[in-house]
Chains A and B, each alone.
Chain A
Amino acid sequence: NAGVMQNPRHLVRRRGQEARLRCSPMKGHSHVYWYRQLPEEGLKFMVYLQKENIIDESGMPKERFSAEFPKEGPSILRIQQVVRGDSAAYFCASSPQFRETQYFGPGTRLLVL
């Protein structure tokens, strides 16, 4: 049973470019959470999605960040016009049902030059 998969594992972007981070939840899981970990800081919740719905985006920056979890395919975290402050590790977690245990992926390390 494959775990949560994230790709790419490392992503380098120049300021102003777009970054797309993908997350494939565990088989049978329909709930996806995104977290961000800035350098030398703790993990911070960003957004919670179910298939085709954003349930809680209280941790998402107001501008440039968006997330989706389409009916088919992985969840996507999109960052437009990246800035150096976006450099961080972005982790995705999935759970089978609401409020059940979340299992994390290996993360995507984003570096903005």
Chain B
Amino acid sequence: DAKTTQPTSMDCAEGRAANLPCNHSTISGNEYVYWYRQIHSQGPQYIIHGLKNNETNEMASLIITEDRKSSTLILPHATLRDTAVYYCIVRVSSNTGKLIFGQGTTLQVKP
């Protein structure tokens, strides 16, 4: 499985953009990058995913580098409710689709 590397923790000021990086240097051409978050101990919440192109939805933007070896999740205007653990996951195409969670990045949004 393609391994992902994320910083353990990050801080962000409320109202500012939060940029969460992820390295996935061993990603294969047909593997997607998924982002989920887990607030407190709630169920993981799907945020966004992408293959090659940058993606945007109502929650966030996903920027994938041209070589696909890294990506950045952008929360444009972070709020206190965005405080959570953010998981970057490379979805392995050859297996049954199970998600392999790493340790993620703990994002603390501060007032």
Contacts and interface: CB of A to CB of B under 8 A. Distances in A.
Interface stretch (B9-17, B60-68, B89-97): B89-97
Contacts of A109: 41
Given A42-B104, A45-B98, A106 B42 contact: yes
B103 A42 contact: yes
Contact of B91 (A35, A37, A99): A99
Given A42-B103, A42-B104, A101-B49, A107 B97 contact: no
A34 to B, nearest CB: 10
A107 B43 contact: yes
Q: Which secondary structure characterizes the binding site on chain B?
A: loop
Interface in B39-60: 41-46, 49
Contacts of B100: 45
Interface string A9-34: 00000000000000000000001010
Interface string A40-74: 00111100100000011011000000000000000
Nearest to B95: A56
A16 to B, nearest CB: 26
A56 B42 CA distance: 25
Contact of A91 (B44, B91, B98): B44
Nearest to B42: A106
Contact of A105 (B34, B38, B43): B43
A104 B46 CA distance: 8
29 contacts: A4-B43, A33-B98, A33-B99, A35-B101, A42-B102, A43-B99, A43-B101, A44-B101, A45-B98, A45-B100, A48-B96, A48-B97, A48-B98, A55-B96, A58-B98, A89-B41, A91-B43, A93-B44, A93-B99, A98-B96, A100-B97, A101-B34, A101-B46, A102-B97, A104-B44, A104-B46, A106-B43, A107-B41, A109-B41
